[in-house]
A and B are shown apart, each in its own frame.
Chain A
Amino acid sequence: MLKSTYGIGAVLALGVLTGAAFAQDKPVAGEVKEGSLKGKTLTFVSYGGIYQDGQVAALKEFVDKSGVKLLNDGPTEIAKLQAQVESGNVTWDVVDTDDLPPYVYCGKLFQKLDLTKLDVSKIPEGQVGECSVPAMNYGVVLMYNKEKYKNNAPKSWADFFDTEKFPGVRGIDGSGSPAGGLLEQAFKYAGGDPKAMTVADIDKAIDVIRKLGPDTIFWKTGAESQQLAESGEADMLMMWTGRAMTAVKNGAKYAPAWQDWLVVMDQMTIPVGVKDTDAAYALLNAYLGKNAQEILTEKTSYTPINSEAQPKVDASVAAFLTNTPERQKQGYKQNFKFWVPNFAVAQEKWSALMAGN
């Protein structure tokens, strides 16, 4: 009953009001029709903190212009989304996730995106997935204690894994899922070729990390990694660029080794079974705009995913942005094709490592 009323409403709206615009005009990133979503509500889900605040600020123009009511929820938990999809009551309209979930659960939890409804022309190459567009870019970077490694600074992940040449405590992201990029670097250190990695090689990669020894710290939150740098507890740290920047800003005597920094992106998705798919597309399209992305970067220091965006940031933030030509050359992209089907196996083995086995 409700659905059919809705259908009639949508048909009327299409036919009478904005039919031409929706049917023929190509969407332009960042633009939305004045008043087109009046009376509608969208729930946007992300990870909270300054990140989600920045995203909401980036979407303010969209909200004001379209007349939509934007609700915020979070943090993103795939299990919660699965519960919503299973029970047929999806209240999350647009969801920000980490790298892999939209690939692992594409078509099951996340809708396959209709790219005629989005303007993806300004997104950096290779970042649009079947079920996702990027939400922002950042990196996982090797940070080292400048005082500890004065004349002998580590330059790459190989140095990170080499405890003989570079003695000291290592800090690794233990906040949840394994970082595919780190495992690939570890496998490379063990003498393998990451491009030809097999499931059995995951053990070899994890062994490299296990051999770092019992002093190794697996940090649980970004805040913890920052705190480890600021207090000098770890000598080499695998860190998110945003946290690395803040730690350095707060006086941590750490420097980045950018070679093979791991490229990471958050993803924007539309769950299966949302009540108003077109409204969700409109939000995504607005989010991808130049203006929105500039605001996002200025508020959060994360790298924008619109290649025309020219955010105004100070030097300390600029030093950790990852979209400069130099950084783009140094970046290392994980082998998505390998990790997507092997996500569960990798997670299983990684949690065993995390549990001290």
Chain B
Amino acid sequence: MSALDPTTPSVPQRAGWAWRPYALTLPALLLLVAVIGYPLLTIVLRSLSEPQWGPQNYVWFFGAPVNLTVLQRTFTISAWVTVVCVLCAYPYAYLMTAVGPRARLVLVLCVLIPFWVSGVVRTLSWVILLQDSGVINSLLRSAGFDGVRLIRTQTGVVIGMAQVLLPFMILPLYSVMKGIDLRLVQAARSLGARPSRAFFTVYLPLSLPGVYAGAIIVFILALGFYITPALLGGPRSTMLSTLVQTQVLSLLQWGRGGAMGVVLLVTTFVLLALAAPVMRSRHREAGRR
């Protein structure tokens, strides 16, 4: 009896502990269900039930060429934004791992301070920089070049969105890069690899998880952008969110607005599902090396 005593209580105790991590996620879970799950369900239902039950809103969506053009454009712009973010963030994040603590603090602040400024304010600043009579064009003209049209173009929208989203790329990249053991690169070098070879075969694959994480966050956030394309873009850079807004706010066609949201969501899932195997196989390769 007494020999069993110390062990028997410990078993139920462990079982009791086992569900606690789940209990701790309960607030987050409830929040997600309440503010994401339920509204999403409503959107899906409304898209199928207004004005009457049926697929009419989806038929309408795919029947209107403007919707398809804008859907495609939304993905194109988001892809460009992601590419620009990766190209800008990668060297920056690397620099953050390479410098001393004080310089790193400065670099981190340079990322975070704009992050704390409202996106609307940053977008309006871009209007001042990019417009035809703006800072960039004045500089170009005073240097003897022709002005370039930046505002109300897709280029302008991509520049503005990339700046707003850059922190979402830099921070995950940095957190992965700072965990990479730089002695691996030294080892490659000491075995005779040129710096470029050492980078591409050792460092880059190890940093890819950070690239993927950042790219997915940036791409998905970019898909839903509203204010930046509305202020920096023209008709040829309208994104889907603007069309949803028109349907919901000025036409009161909530079913159609819902259908547009569902199409965007499903298309995003499909694209991510297609990209997932590529990312996973790269991971494994990186791990093997």
Contacts of A354 in B (CB 8 A): 235, 238, 242, 246
Contacts of A177 in B (CB 8 A): 250
Verify B131–A231 contact, CB threshold 8 A: yes
A355-B69, A356-B236 known; A78 and B249 CB under 8 Å? yes
Contacts of A307 in B (CB 8 A): none
Cβ contact of B132, chosen from A77, A176, A216, A233, cutoff 8 A: A233
For chain A, the bracket of interface size reads 20 to 34
The distance in angstroms between the C-alpha atoms of A224 and B234, with both chains bound, is: 13
Contact with A along B224-261 (1 / 0, CB 8 A): 00000011001111100011001011111010000000
Interface centre among B66, B235, B243 (most CB of A within 10 A): B235
Q: A14 contacts the other chain (Cβ, under 8 Å)? A: no
Verify A355–B248 contact, CB threshold 8 A: no
In chain B, what residue has the closest Cβ to A221?
B231
Verify A214–B230 contact, CB threshold 8 A: no
Task: Name the prevailing secondary structure of the B interface residues.
Answer: helix
In chain A, what residue has the closest Cβ to B70?
A355
Verify B133–A78 contact, CB threshold 8 A: no
Contacts of B250 in A (CB 8 A): 78, 176-177, 347
Contacts of B132 in A (CB 8 A): 233
Distance of B169 from chain A, by nearest CB (Å): 27
A233-B133, A351-B243, A356-B236 known; A217 and B152 CB under 8 Å? yes
Verify A79–B248 contact, CB threshold 8 A: yes
Verify A356–B152 contact, CB threshold 8 A: no
Q: A353 contacts the other chain (Cβ, under 8 Å)? A: yes
A232-B133, A351-B246, A357-B65 known; A217 and B234 CB under 8 Å? yes
A351-B246, A355-B66 known; A344 and B234 CB under 8 Å? no
Distance of B212 from chain A, by nearest CB (Å): 32
The distance in angstroms between the C-alpha atoms of A174 and B133, with both chains bound, is: 21
Contacts of A344 in B (CB 8 A): 251
9 A-B pairs in the complex with CB atoms less than 8 angstroms apart: A79-B252, A79-B254, A174-B235, A218-B234, A220-B230, A231-B133, A354-B235, A356-B234, A356-B238
